[in-house]
Amino acid sequence: MPNREAYINPSLDEIEPGLYLGNARSSTSLATLREYQILAMVSLGTEERHLFIPSLDSSTRNLLQHVTEACDFIERVRLSSVERPALLASVYTNLEEQPLEVETIAAAEVHRSNNVILVHCDWGVLRSSTIVIAYLMRKHRMSLSDALAMVKGKRRVRPNLNFIMQLEVWQDTGYEIYEDVETKTPKLQYKEFLEKRAKRLKEQGLTGDEPIAPVFP
């Protein structure tokens, strides 16, 4: 696990243009958000902001059920045609008592080809990296091994075995876990995963929501 300073200080890395992976502190640091021109976030944690996915670090958590929603949100933001200064002002106003003028944001705007989004959890190592890997797999039709290598080349991440197994299912289902999205009818690979997970939880007397306590070296 990262050391304590990696948890306290803002930490984010650009995985590809317009897509950042980081920790929770980076999502609340106004200076960091301004510096990197972040206009939207996917948050995996315990406090609601932006697209919020309730998720603790866990060896049993089913994150796969949220992956499509997160990928759709990331793609929608990155392809949005809404003017960036207005979007940036709406994001930063949430972090300050006084609203920021759109002209002020526009003056500080750096030239980027895409809208910029931050995906984070507490550490930026497990849950959020799983979402970013899943997004890259779907967007670029990448294999799990290639997407994992790409992210590891930019940031020190370590999805646990539970999340790796889910990414394998994501790959095997062709980046869509349901046969019928409206009725939530799972594809065979996802159904088998859910059945094995339910059996394992029952045998171990778990609920699937057990957190992994942070460890500071």
Catalytic residue ranges: 121
DSSP state string for the chain: ---HHHHHS--EEEEETTEEEE-HHHHH-HHHHHHHT--EEEEEESS--SEEEE----SS---HHHHHHHHHHHHHHHT--S-HHHHHHHHHHTTSSSPPPHHHHHHH----SS--EEEE-SSSSSHHHHHHHHHHHHHHT--HHHHHHHHHTTS-----HHHHHHHHHHHHTTS--EEETTTTEE-HHHHHHHHHHHHHHHHHT--S-PPPPP---
Using a 10 angstrom Cβ sphere, with 0-12 exposed, 13-18 middle and 19 or more buried, the burial of residue 131 is buried
Distance, in Å, from the CA atom of 187 to the CA atom of 175, rounded to the nearest integer, reads: 11
Distance, in Å, from the CA atom of 155 to the CA atom of 67, rounded to the nearest integer, reads: 20
